[in-house]
Amino acid sequence: MTSSSQLDDLWMRLSSMAGGQRQFRSMRAPDAGALDVHVAIRTTDGARCLLFDLPDPERTDAGFEAGGLRLTRVTLENGLGIALLLEDATRSDLFTTICSDVIGFANAADPIHALRLVMERLEAWRQFLRSVSGGLKREDAIGLIGELIVLEALLARDPGLLRTWRAPENGLHDFENAGHAIEVKTTLGPGWRVTVSTLDQLDVTGLEQLDLLLVRLFETAAGETLGRLIERVASLLTEETDKRALSNALLQRGLAPDDTHARGSLCVAVQQMTAYPVVADFPRLRRHDLPKAIIDARYVLDLAQLHEIARPAGPTIESFGGRA
């Protein structure tokens, strides 16, 4: 993997070179594979760039601006390319981290396949940049741990169930499979209160079954960190495509590859996992019950008052994983 220090050295060397007439001054990136990748400087203003050849000229989805970075198609001396540009110099450390990470996805044997992997990774970074500022917050890390605990249980039944994890794609429900959805709520410490973030989160329209699954955690030195939990989940995946999909999903959920604080700051264990079927009389706000002027709402449920319908999470996970 190309390190951040290697990239910084290359950009410094390029900055010291004479400008010339070309749009970019560039050097081939270390460890680049079949897809030609160049570390570059934009001649007009010295902005740092990463350039990718475009072996599939029909591709038209290359473009975004987020977090001081811009991805765009460019015309290079040998044809069309894609440029990842640093437009805000104050984000140089983040830009270097992203470039170092993305180069590692360009090493497939076929350049078109390598380009697809790079674009998928850049899309995950785009979502990260638009949703996260300053690293994964404690509350979000707790929520992610709960989702991964459920994901681990599902993957132990069938690694193909990775595709049912919809939270990274901003899905309405955290998991969905063949008409069965699971909404995961995670708490740390005492208490049974959970927050429902939208009016539609507990809406059963179009579903055969919806379960709210509460994961109650407690902090303990004998527990596990988020980083260790991720390793366990990844160990259940045998295909490299699935491992890459998990890595992209974690990035989309707001966890950067170098966020060591979020990965190691919490050490927790599961106290209890409880499922609550969302049926007709389940207490919730529903859009069709409210005045049309109310377009959305966020509210808190006290699940301690729903003990009569509470049940162990195991059968819910088994039912979800057993659907075709």
Interval 259-312: pLDDT, tens = 899 999 999 999 999 999 999 899 999 999 999 999 999 999 999 999 999 999
Residues 257, 184 share a domain: yes
- Judge if 77 and 180 occupy the same domain: no
Q: pLDDT tens for residues 47-60?
A: 999 999 888 777 66
Q: Which of 131, 160, 191 is the last residue of a domain?
A: 131
How many helical (H) and strand (E) elements, i.e. helices and strands, does the chain have? 8, 13
Instruction: Kindly state whether residues 246 and 272 are assigned to the same domain.
Output: yes
Instruction: Look at the pTM and tell me if it is higher than 0.85.
Output: yes
Residue-level pLDDT at 216: 97
Instruction: Give the total number of structural domains in the chain.
Output: 2
pLDDT at 23 > cutoff 90: no
In sequence order, what DSSP letters do the residues of 63-100 get, joined into one string?
Answer: -EEETTEEEEEEEETTEEEEEEEE--GGGHHHHHHHHH
Residue 288 identity (one-letter amino acid): H
- Going by C-beta distance under 8 Å and a sequence separation of 6 or more, which residues neighbour residue 131? 254
Measure the N-to-C terminal CA separation of the chain; round to a whole number of Å: 38
Give me the mean pLDDT over the 143-170 stretch: 96
pLDDT, tens only, 230-272: 999 999 999 999 999 999 999 999 999 988 999 999 999 999 9
Note whether 61 and 151 are same-domain residues: no
Residue of 37 and 132 predicted with greater confidence: 37
Shared domain for 147 and 205, answered yes or no, is yes
Judge if 162 and 18 occupy the same domain. Answer: no
Flag whether pLDDT at 163 surpasses 90: yes
293 & 167 share domain: yes
Range of the domain at 164: 138-321
Task: Kindly state whether residues 159 and 87 are assigned to the same domain.
Answer: no
Together in a domain, 171 and 186: yes
Cα 85 to Cα 308: distance, rounded to the nearest angstrom: 56
Query: How far, CA to CA in Å, does 272 sit from each of 140, 216, 267?
Result: 19, 5, 16
Let me know whether 123 and 142 are in one domain: no
- Pick the last residue of a domain from 131, 151, 168: 131
